[in-house]
Structure 1
């Protein structure tokens, strides 16, 4: 089954428009690259980026003068930048965000052939461009993954501890689960989103149509249930895989989400606090505490985590009360406290070890193609 499934995924997974929907042209007056056959806009930059796997991919950056947040958008399986150009520019206007979109290797005018590992390299190169060329910080970045784009989006999300938010649009649990209702993750599976979503510490919005004929609605529901920081999901009644942008609720809900995210504290402020925070009050939200803990795990190996300090406070109170009692009770209680602390410390180390092992397994996932539109409906996108 493993070999057959891998071969099927490799053969049918990708549906880049053939021929591509656009060409790259150079404006003679400015020397800037443009995407052909679209309404040209002065606030759009077209770039070519080289990935760590040696491919040259095409990206576009839409600038919004008053935006404080930037969306990095990974599009669906059977589309390229020529088809997404209008959607990207309109989303930038209506959501008041900067927006960076890119074509996967082998899509549009990007070189190479598409594969799972190439899409990971593609989004890494695009994010690096945002940082180095446009000065965008991860705490001001929202990752948007549509359909198969949820794979590279979540792969990058688990590497950015200060990421502002994630949006998943008709996401997949994994490639194999699109084809078969399996209950466990196999080594040959691809885009193992079901294993990655619990590792994302920032707020996650999930959008899915209830009548999705390509990626069943249950994928979005289960991913939402596994989110650490859930945001109110958008389940579009009657929506299918390729028409969710046509629903008025789609844009309304995105605006609401962006507005809520803009009000959140920037995570950099939390992670740059002094190391000794024992005298400082707890953070305002569980979300900030979790993110701070995740981003400082390596630096904090020699010290108890924030959660451990919280657990130790009831023990401290008990010892204070015990001082009013007999010396015998005091010694007994201190002995119990020491035993409990040792057990908590062991449990904490074990949890951390399991977390890193799980992350390592995901990073070593095989480099097959992505699985998105596995039916003929993909050709209609």
Structure 2
């Protein structure tokens, strides 16, 4: 039911398939299960592109319908990579809530080659999500914080369960046990990912939005802990008419965010291993933990014991590579187990079935097993 509400795919044919030059370039990213996700890459005439905006559109849009936004971003010196979901445009497969964030991860990794071939390898990356696309934008801003320099949430979906349509129909599905609806987990945990976002963030929303209530924008802004964040309320605007009413102010807000992204450097991205030093509480010096995210001008760190938020000057990086999470293991990917107390499992290879809470379910020859991400490595 929720999938039918969340996705309204349209099929279209590409006009510039596999183009490597020119202002518009169409292509598709291949997922681990061989499904294709279509994209359109809008490249400005200026070769000195310093920002690439990744755009994840609304549920009834397609990647090719971004000409106006692309023109506006080009005027600000940015290229636009507009990415679909499964089953949209010339992509394959069926739209899937469970695979949405995993697909975004794979598209982001695959885009590195696309940007390098275009000469934009050193460009800053900004994630831009509209409506349901906000789930992908927030996910990447949180999970790829080393490489993401800005986040824009436009009429963004934070909670599927809080959508008026879902709240109305959800309890009806359970008929005699409508309370079971409240026990269902959010499929994305977008609100839970917000504290890991460290880059400048812009949240925009119409206060008359009839599809995604304005309250979700307030939740989004509140959940962000980055010191540079803004909540822009478009008075009188609904879900689909912000651009028509506020085109120029909307453009100015985006321009300001892109300028902040150009200046942003994240020295302590979420997931990196750090060590505390030079603290007055001497028992804390030498403790190591992974960065959870910003707390305004400080950093929250997952130490063995609670320590609050520390100043960056009291931390030094021990390991740049972030700890892997369940999202780093896409469905269909081949993995190998290691570092397990059951030594007979070490070295076994299998195919990822999907996440199971904080573990990854893998299909091995002797059956499926749910393992911690730290006990798995991807096999190329």
For residues 313-348 of structure 1, the C-alpha deviation after alignment (integer angstroms, 9 at most, x for no partner) is: x35xxxxxxxxxxxxxxxxxxxxx55x779999982
Residue 66 of structure 1 is matched in structure 2 by 48
**Unpaired segments of 5 or more residues in structure 2?**
169-178, 290-300, 308-321, 329-354, 359-380
State the Cα distance separating 1:199 from its structure 2 match.
1.6
Rounded to whole Å, the distance in 1 between the matches of 2:272 and 2:258 is: 27
1:218-264 deviation per Cα after TM superposition (whole angstroms, max 9, x unaligned): 00011101101142221111111112222121111111111122123
In the other structure, the counterpart of 1:24 is 14
1:51 and 1:121 in contact (8 A); partners too: no
**Structure with higher strand content:** 2
Report if aligned partners of 1:161, 1:201 keep a CA contact under 8 Å in 2: yes
The TM-score normalised by the length of structure 1 is 0.65
Q: Give the equivalent residue in structure 1 for 2:143.
A: 159
Do the aligned residues in 2 keep the contact of 1:138 with 1:164 (CA within 8 Å)?
A: no
Post-superposition, which runs of at least 4 consecutive aligned residues in structure 1 deviate over 6 A?
A: 340-347
Q: 2:132 — aligned with what?
A: 148
Instruction: Tell me which residue corresponds to 2:161.
Output: 176
> How many residue pairs end up in the alignment?
285
Matched residues in 2 for 1:62 and 1:250: separation?
20
Q: 1:344 and 1:63 mapped to 2: Cα distance?
A: 43
Q: What is the alpha-carbon distance in structure 2 between the residues aligned to residue 365 and residue 78 of structure 1?
A: 30
Query: Following the alignment from structure 2 to structure 1, what is the Cα–Cα distance between the partners of residues 194 and 33?
Result: 25
Alignment of 1:1-381 (within 5 A): 8-17=1-10, 20=11, 22-25=12-15, 32=19, 42-64=22-44, 65-82=47-64, 84-135=65-116, 136=120, 140-162=124-146, 163-178=148-163, 179-180=166-167, 186-229=183-226, 230-246=228-244, 247=246, 248-264=248-264, 266-267=265-266, 270=267, 291-292=268-269, 294-297=270-273, 300=274, 304-305=275-276, 309=277, 312=279, 314=280, 338=283, 348-350=303-305, 364=356
Bigger-Rg structure (1/2)? 1
User: Structure 2: how far apart are the matches of 1:144 and 1:70?
Assistant: 10
Contact 1:61–1:101 under 8 Å retained in 2 = yes
Normalised to the residue count of structure 2, the TM-score between the two structures is 0.65
* CA-CA distance at 1:295 after TM superposition: 4.4
Write 1 or 2 for the structure with the bigger share of helix. 1
